[in-house]
C-alpha cells in the first residue's frame, strides 16, 4: 500500500509546486494602467467582501448541520453499542468539517486567483492574444489544481487516519463509509456557495442591465452605472467560487462513493479496489498539467477555442494511456470460483467514461454554439418578437436533454455489462464498473476546471478593458477571449451534469451498501428499491417535484435580489448628482453590499428545501422511499439542469449572433427580442442550472449521512 500512497502524496506535492510556479508567473505579469488597477481593486474588494460575509453565513449553517449529524449518527445507530455510536458520530463529524473547510478553501482560492488574474490578462492583451490566453488559462489552472489536489489530500489523509493504512482488514473496510461525511461537508458548502454566488451574479447582472441599459440608456460595463462593479464581482463569486466548490464536491463525493463500492469487492481486489479511485485521480492531475501546458495560439487570428479543445484532447489521450496501466496493475486478482479477473473489460469501463466526457462536450457545443442550427433558429425566431424567441429557446433547451440522456444511459449500461464480464458470477460486480467509468470521466476534471475558471477571468478582463477605455485593438483581443470563455463555461456545465449523473448512480449504490450495513445484511446481497411500492413511488414523486420547486425558488430569488439593485441604483442617481455627467463617482461598494445581503438572504429558502425534503421523506416513509427519492431526484435533476444550462447558453449566443450583425444587428427589433431571451436564460444557466448539479450530489451524500435516522 505504501508505494501507492507515496505516489498520491507525490502528485499532491507536484501540484503544489506547479501551483506555486503558476501563481508566481501570474503575479509577475504587468498590472496595466492606473485606470485598470483602480477598477480591479473595486472588483477585488467587492468579491472579498461577499465571500467573507457568505462564509460567515455558511459557517453558521454548517455548525447546525454538524450538530444534526452527530445527533443523528448517535441516536440513529440503535443496533450498535454506545461507544461505536460515539465513534461513528465523531468520525463522520470530523470528516464533515474537513470536507466543508476544504470546499470553502477551494472556492476562496478560485476567487482569489480570478480577481488577480483578470487585470493581468487585460493588461497582457497588449502583447497579443497568446499572452492574454496564457495568463487567463494559467490563472484558471491554479484553481483547477488546487481544487483537485485538495480533494485528493483530504480523502487520502482521512482514509489513512481512519485506519485505511492500518493493514487491518476490518478497519480498511469500514473507513470508506466514515468518509461520507467528507462528501457531505463538501456538498453542503458547495450548495450554498453555488446558490448564493449564482443568485448574486445574476441579480447584479439583471439589475445592472435593467436600470442601466433600459432605464438610464447607458451601455453595458459603463463606469457611470453604480451596479457595474457588482456585475463584474458576480462573475467571480458565481463562476469561480461557486463552480470551484461544485467540482470540489464532485471529485470528493465520487471518490468516496467509489471507495465504498470498492469495499464490496474486497474479497477480490483487496485494498487495491478501494485505493484505485485515489490513484486514478492522482494520475489524472498529472495528465491535466501536461494538457494545460500544451495550450498555445500561434497568432492573433488563431482560434483560442481550438487551442483549448486540443489541450482537452491531449489530456484525455494521456488519461486513456495511464488508466490502462493503472487498471491492469490494481484491478486484478483471482476469482473465488476459479479463473482470474479479466481486467481489459474493466479498462473498457474507464474508456466509456472518458468517451462520455468527450461526447458531452460535443453535444453541448452543438446546442449552444453560434454556428449551429439551434442557436440560429432562436436568432431567427427573434424576428417575430420576444414571444417566439422564448418559445424556441425553451423548445431547444428541452430537446437538448435527449442525446445526453441516451449517452449517459449507454455509458452506464456498457460499464455495468463490461464489469460483469470482467467479474463473472460475482454479486454486484456491475456497480463497480460504473465507479470505474466515473473515474474515467473525472480524470480530465483538473483541465476542465482550469478551462471553466478561464471563463470569468476573460469576462472580467473584457469588462476592465471596456471600463478603463483601453484602445480598440486590446479590446478586440479581450472580446475574442470573452466569447471563447462563454463557450468554455457552457461546456464545463455540460461536463458537470454528466459527471453528476454518473456519480449519483454510484452514490446511490453506496447508499444501498450503507443500508445493508445498517440492517446487518451481507454486502453481496441485493437491497431492492421497488418503485411499485406506494412509499417508493411517492418518494420519487416528491423527489421530482423538489427539482421543480428548487428551480422555481432559485429563479425567483434572482428576481427579488435584482429588485434591491434596481432600487439602490435609482437611489444613487438621485442622491449623487453628476454621476451621469461623469463628474461624480457612484458608490460601487454600497451596491455590492446590497446585492451581497440580498443574495445571502435569498439562498436560505431553496437551501433548506433541498436539505429537509429527503430527510423528511426518509424519516416518514423509510429507507427504501428515500432511495426512490434519491434516484428520481437525480433523473429529473440531471434533465432539468441540461434544459436550463443549454437553453440559457443558446439564448445567450443567439443574442451574440444578432449583435454580430445577423437579423438586423444591434438595436434592431430582433435584438430587443433576443435580449429578453438572454434575460430569461441568465438565471437558468448561472443560478438554477449549476445549483442543480450540486443538489443532485448533495441529496446523495445527505441520505448517506442521515440514513441511520430513516425509519
Q: Is 406 in the site for its own copies (CB under 8 A)?
A: yes
**Stretch of residues binding its own copies (CB under 8 A), selected from 66-74, 336-344, 488-496, 541-549:** 541-549
C-alpha cell at 687: 443560478
* CB of 376 vs its own copies, minimal distance in Å: 14
Q: Which is nearer to its own copies, 458 or 553 (CB)?
A: 553
Q: Which is nearer to its own copies, 188 or 564 (CB)?
A: 564
- Contact between 388 and 683 (Cβ < 8 Å): no
* CB of 441 vs its own copies, minimal distance in Å: 16
Our CA angle for 540, 517, 433, nearest 5°, is: 70
Which of 550, 709, 580 has the alpha carbon at shortest distance from 644? 550
**Rg, the chain, Cα only:** 25
| Interacting positions 682-701 with its own copies (CB under 8 A) | 683
Give the CA distances from residue 275 to residues 165, 264, 533, in Å, rounded to whole numbers and listed in that order.
Answer: 10, 13, 37
- Contact between 697 and 560 (Cβ < 8 Å): no
- The C-alpha cell 478560485 sits at 110
Q: Is 680 in the site for its own copies (CB under 8 A)?
A: yes
Contact string (CB under 8 A) for its own copies, positions 542-581, x = contact: x-xx--xx-xxx-xx-xx------x---------------
Q: Which is nearer to its own copies, 452 or 513 (CB)?
A: 513
Q: How many CB atoms lie within 10 A of CB 366?
A: 16
* CB of 603 vs its own copies, minimal distance in Å: 15
Q: What gap in Å lies between CA 447 and CA 452, rounded to an integer? A: 9
Give the CA distances from residue 407 to residues 363, 421, 439, 490, 700, in Å, rounded to whole numbers and listed in that order.
Answer: 10, 21, 17, 18, 22
C-alpha cell at 63: 455548525
Q: Which is nearer to its own copies, 168 or 409 (CB)?
A: 409
| Interacting positions 498-537 with its own copies (CB under 8 A) | 505, 508-509, 512, 526-532, 534-537
Alpha-helical (H) ranges within 166-265 are 169-178, 180-208, 228-235, 243-264
Give how many residues touch its own copies by CB under 8 A.
74
Q: Which is nearer to its own copies, 470 or 557 (CB)?
A: 557
- Contact between 205 and 235 (Cβ < 8 Å): no
* CB of 24 vs its own copies, minimal distance in Å: 44
Q: Which is nearer to its own copies, 241 or 512 (CB)?
A: 512
3-state secondary structure of 645: helix
3-state secondary structure of 334: strand
* CB of 248 vs its own copies, minimal distance in Å: 26
* CB of 614 vs its own copies, minimal distance in Å: 15
Alpha-helical (H) ranges within 369-471 are 373-381, 386-399, 402-422, 429-442, 445-467
Alpha-helical (H) ranges within 28-128 are 34-76, 82-124
| Interacting positions 631-650 with its own copies (CB under 8 A) | 631-632, 635-636, 638-639, 643
Selected binder of its own copies within 128, 163, 333, 385 (CB under 8 A)? 385
Q: Which is nearer to its own copies, 271 or 505 (CB)?
A: 505
Q: Which is nearer to its own copies, 242 or 606 (CB)?
A: 606
Output the 3-class SS for 421-433: HHCCCCCCHHHHH
C-alpha cell at 459: 469576462
3-state secondary structure of 220: coil
Is 218 exposed, middle or buried (CB count within 10 Å of its CB: 0-12, 13-18, 19+)?
middle
Selected binder of its own copies within 41, 409, 667, 711 (CB under 8 A)? 409
* CB of 513 vs its own copies, minimal distance in Å: 11
Q: Which is nearer to its own copies, 21 or 548 (CB)?
A: 548
- Contact between 442 and 250 (Cβ < 8 Å): yes
| Interacting positions 247-286 with its own copies (CB under 8 A) | none
* CB of 588 vs its own copies, minimal distance in Å: 22
Selected binder of its own copies within 198, 628, 648, 649 (CB under 8 A)? 628
* CB of 273 vs its own copies, minimal distance in Å: 20
Q: Is 387 in the site for its own copies (CB under 8 A)?
A: yes
| Interacting positions 152-211 with its own copies (CB under 8 A) | 206, 210
Q: What gap in Å lies between CA 364 and CA 312, rounded to an integer? A: 15
Q: Is 676 in the site for its own copies (CB under 8 A)?
A: yes
Which of 595, 563, 555 has the alpha carbon at shortest distance from 53? 595
| Interacting positions 451-470 with its own copies (CB under 8 A) | none
The alpha carbon of 566 is separated from its chain's Cα centroid by a whole number of angstroms, namely: 29
Q: Is 604 in the site for its own copies (CB under 8 A)?
A: no
Q: Which is nearer to its own copies, 90 or 541 (CB)?
A: 541
Q: Is 401 in the site for its own copies (CB under 8 A)?
A: yes
* CB of 251 vs its own copies, minimal distance in Å: 23
- Contact between 393 and 651 (Cβ < 8 Å): yes
Q: Which is nearer to its own copies, 332 or 668 (CB)?
A: 668
Q: Is 396 in the site for its own copies (CB under 8 A)?
A: yes
Q: Is 391 in the site for its own copies (CB under 8 A)?
A: yes
**Stretch of residues binding its own copies (CB under 8 A), selected from 34-42, 216-224, 363-371, 395-403:** 395-403
**Stretch of residues binding its own copies (CB under 8 A), selected from 264-272, 321-329, 437-445, 626-634:** 626-634
**Stretch of residues binding its own copies (CB under 8 A), selected from 224-232, 331-339, 406-414, 587-595:** 406-414
Q: Which is nearer to its own copies, 102 or 394 (CB)?
A: 394
Q: What gap in Å lies between CA 154 and CA 287, rounded to an integer? A: 20
Length of the chain as a residue count: 711
* CB of 152 vs its own copies, minimal distance in Å: 28
CA trace torsion 551, 489, 143, 589 (10° rounding): -70
| Interacting positions 16-75 with its own copies (CB under 8 A) | none
Selected binder of its own copies within 161, 320, 421, 538 (CB under 8 A)? 538
Q: What gap in Å lies between CA 300 and CA 557, rounded to an integer? A: 41
Q: Which residues contact 437 (CB under 8 A, 6 or more apart)?
A: 349, 350, 352, 353, 356, 411, 412, 414, 415, 502
* Residues forming a β-bridge with 334: 340
* CB of 506 vs its own copies, minimal distance in Å: 12
| Interacting positions 411-450 with its own copies (CB under 8 A) | 412-413, 416, 430, 434
* CB of 281 vs its own copies, minimal distance in Å: 24
Q: Is 704 in the site for its own copies (CB under 8 A)?
A: no
* CB of 255 vs its own copies, minimal distance in Å: 21
CA trace torsion 578, 584, 585, 587 (10° rounding): -60
- Contact between 157 and 70 (Cβ < 8 Å): no
* CB of 171 vs its own copies, minimal distance in Å: 28
* Residues forming a β-bridge with 340: 334
* CB of 435 vs its own copies, minimal distance in Å: 13
Amino acid at each position: 500500500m505504501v508505494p501507492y500512497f507515496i505516489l498520491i502524496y507525490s502528485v499532491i506535492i507536484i501540484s503544489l509546486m506547479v501551483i506555486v510556479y503558476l501563481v508566481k508567473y501570474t503575479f509577475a505579469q504587468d498590472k496595466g494602467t492606473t485606470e485598470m488597477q483602480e477598477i480591479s481593486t473595486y472588483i477585488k474588494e467587492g468579491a472579498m467582501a461577499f465571500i467573507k460575509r457568505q462564509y460567515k453565513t455558511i459557517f453558521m449553517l454548517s455548525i447546525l448541520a454538524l450538530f444534526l449529524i452527530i445527533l443523528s449518527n448517535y441516536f440513529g445507530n440503535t443496533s450498535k453499542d454506545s461507544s461505536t455510536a460515539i465513534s461513528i458520530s465523531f468520525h463522520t463529524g470530523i470528516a464533515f468539517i474537513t470536507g466543508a473547510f476544504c470546499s470553502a478553501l477551494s472556492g476562496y482560492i478560485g476567487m482569489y486567483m480570478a480577481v488577480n488574474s483578470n487585470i493581468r490578462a487585460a493588461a497582457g492583451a497588449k502583447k497579443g492574444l497568446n499572452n492574454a490566453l496564457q495568463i487567463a488559462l494559467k490563472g484558471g489552472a491554479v484553481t483547477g489544481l488546487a481544487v483537485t489536489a485538495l480533494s485528493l489530500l483530504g480523502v487520502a489523509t482521512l482514509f489513512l487516519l481512519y485506519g485505511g493504512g492500518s493493514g487491518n482488514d476490518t478497519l480498511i473496510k469500514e473507513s470508506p463509509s466514515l468518509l461520507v461525511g467528507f462528501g457531505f461537508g463538501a456538498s453542503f458548502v458547495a450548495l450554498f456557495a453555488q446558490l448564493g454566488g449564482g443568485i448574486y451574479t445574476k441579480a447584479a447582472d439583471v439589475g445592472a442591465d435593467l436600470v442601466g441599459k433600459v432605464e438610464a440608456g447607458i451601455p453595458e460595463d459603463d463606469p457611470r452605472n453604480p451596479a457595474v462593479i457588482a456585475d463584474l464581482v458576480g462573475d467571480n463569486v458565481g463562476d469561480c467560487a461557486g463552480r470551484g466548490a461544485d467540482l470540489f464536491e464532485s471529485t470528493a463525493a465520487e471518490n468516496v462513493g467509489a471507495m465504498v463500492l470498492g469495499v464490496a469487492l474486497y474479497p477480490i481486489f483487496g485494498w487495491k479496489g478501494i485505493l484505485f479511485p485515489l490513484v486514478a485521480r492522482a494520475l489524472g492531475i498529472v495528465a491535466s498539467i501536461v494538457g494545460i501546458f500544451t495550450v498555445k495560439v500561434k497568432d492573433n487570428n488563431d482560434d483560442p477555442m481550438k487551442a483549448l479543445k486540443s489541450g482537452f484532447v491531449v489530456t484525455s489521450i494521456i488519461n486513456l494511456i495511464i488508466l490502462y496501466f493503472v487498471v491492469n496493475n490494481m484491478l486484478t486478482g483471482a476469482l473465488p470460483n476459479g479463473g482470474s479477473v479479466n481486467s481489459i473489460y474493466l479498462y473498457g469501463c474507464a474508456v466509456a467514461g472518458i468517451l462520455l466526457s468527450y461526447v458531452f462536450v460535443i453535444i453541448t457545443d452543438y446546442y449552444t454554439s453560434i454556428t449551429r442550427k439551434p442557436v440560429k433558429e432562436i436568432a431567427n425566431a427573434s424576428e417575430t418578437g420576444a414571444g417566439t424567441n422564448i418559445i424556441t429557446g425553451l423548445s431547444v433547451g428541452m430537446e437538448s436533454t435527449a442525446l445526453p440522456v441516451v449517452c449517459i444511459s449507454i455509458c452506464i449500461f456498457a460499464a455495468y455489462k463490461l464489469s460483469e464480464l470482467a467479474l463473472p458470477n460475482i454479486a454486484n460486480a456491475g456497480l463497480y464498473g460504473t465507479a470505474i467509468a466515473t473515474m474515467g470521466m473525472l480524470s480530465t476534471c483538473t483541465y476542465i476546471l482550469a478551462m471553466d475558471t478561464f471563463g470569468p477571468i476573460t469576462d472580467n478582463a473584457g469588462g476592465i478593458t471596456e471600463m478603463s477605455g483601453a484602445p480598440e485593438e486590446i479590446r478586440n483581443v479581450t472580446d475574442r477571449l470573452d466569447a471563447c470563455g462563454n463557450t468554455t463555461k457552457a461546456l464545463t456545465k455540460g461536463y458537470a451534469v454528466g459527471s453528476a449523473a454518473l456519480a449519483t448512480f454510484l452514490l446511490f449504490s453506496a447508499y444501498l451498501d450503507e443500508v445493508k450495513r445498517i440492517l446487518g445484511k451481507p454486502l453481496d446481497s441485493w437491497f431492492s428499491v421497488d418503485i411499485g411500492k406506494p412509499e417508493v413511488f411517492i418518494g420519487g414523486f416528491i423527489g421530482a417535484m423538489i427539482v421543480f420547486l428548487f428551480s422555481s425558488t432559485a429563479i425567483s430569488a434572482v428576481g427579488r435580489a435584482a429588485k434591491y439593485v434596481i432600487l439602490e441604483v435609482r437611489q444613487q442617481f438621485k442622491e449623487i448628482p453628476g454621476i451621469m455627467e461623469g463628474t461624480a463617482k457612484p458608490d460601487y461598494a454600497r451596491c455590492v453590499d446590497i446585492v451581497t445581503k440580498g443574495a445571502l438572504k435569498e439562498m436560505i429558502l431553496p437551501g433548506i428545501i433541498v436539505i429537509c425534503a429527503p430527510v423528511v421523506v426518509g424519516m416518514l416513509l423509510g429507507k427504501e422511499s428515500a432511495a426512490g427519492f434519491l434516484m428520481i431526484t437525480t433523473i429529473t435533476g440531471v434533465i432539468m439542469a441540461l434544459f436550463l444550462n443549454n437553453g440559457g447558453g443558446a439564448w445567450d449566443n443567439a443574442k451574440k449572433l444578432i449583435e454580430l450583425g445577423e437579423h438586423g444587428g444591434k438595436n434592431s427589433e430582433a435584438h430587443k427580442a433576443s435580449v429578453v431571451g438572454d434575460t430569461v436564460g441568465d438565471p437558468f444557466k448561472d443560478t438554477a442550472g449549476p445549483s442543480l448539479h450540486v443538489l443532485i450530489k448533495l441529496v446523495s451524500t445527505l441520505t448517506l449521512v442521515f440514513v441511520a435516522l430513516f425509519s
